[in-house]
C-alpha cells in the first residue's frame, strides 16, 4: 500500500478513536463539549488518538516493507537458479 492509503487510514483512525473517547468522556461527565488542547481530558483524548493513528500507519508501513522484502528475495532466488541452470547446461 502506498503512503496515501496509510495517511487515509491514519486520519480515519484518528477521527474514530477521538469520537469514541469524546463520547465516553462526555457521557461520564469528564468533558463538556468537544475535546480541545486547553483541557487535560481533551489533550489526553487527542494525544491518545494521535498515538493510535501513528501505530496503525506504522504497522501498515512495516507490513508493506516485509512484503517487499519477501518479493525481492523470491526474485533474487529465481534469478540465481536461472543463472545456475544456464551455466550447468552450458557445461554439458
For 51-83, how does the pLDDT look when each residue is reduced to its tens digit (9 = 90+)? 999 999 999 999 999 999 999 999 999 999 988
CB neighbourhood size of 53 (10 A): 22
CA 70/CA 45 separation, integer angstroms: 38
pLDDT score of 11 more than 70:
yes
3 close to 60: Cβ distance less than 8 angstroms: no
Q: What is the mean pLDDT of residues 9-14?
A: 95
What is the model's pTM?
0.75
Residue range 23-48: mean pLDDT, rounded: 87
Identify the residue whose cell numbers are 461527565: 29
Amino acid at each position: 500500500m502506498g503512503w496515501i492509503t496509510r495517511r487515509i487510514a491514519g486520519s480515519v483512525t484518528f477521527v474514530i478513536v477521538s469520537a469514541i473517547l469524546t463520547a465516553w468522556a462526555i457521557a461520564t461527565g469528564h468533558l463538556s463539549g468537544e475535546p480541545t488542547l486547553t483541557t487535560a481530558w481533551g489533550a489526553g483524548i487527542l494525544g491518545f488518538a494521535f498515538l493510535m493513528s501513528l501505530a496503525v500507519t506504522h504497522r501498515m508501513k512495516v507490513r508493506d516493507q516485509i512484503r517487499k522484502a519477501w518479493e525481492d528475495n523470491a526474485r533474487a532466488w529465481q534469478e540465481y537458479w536461472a543463472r545456475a541452470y544456464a551455466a550447468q547446461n552450458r557445461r554439458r
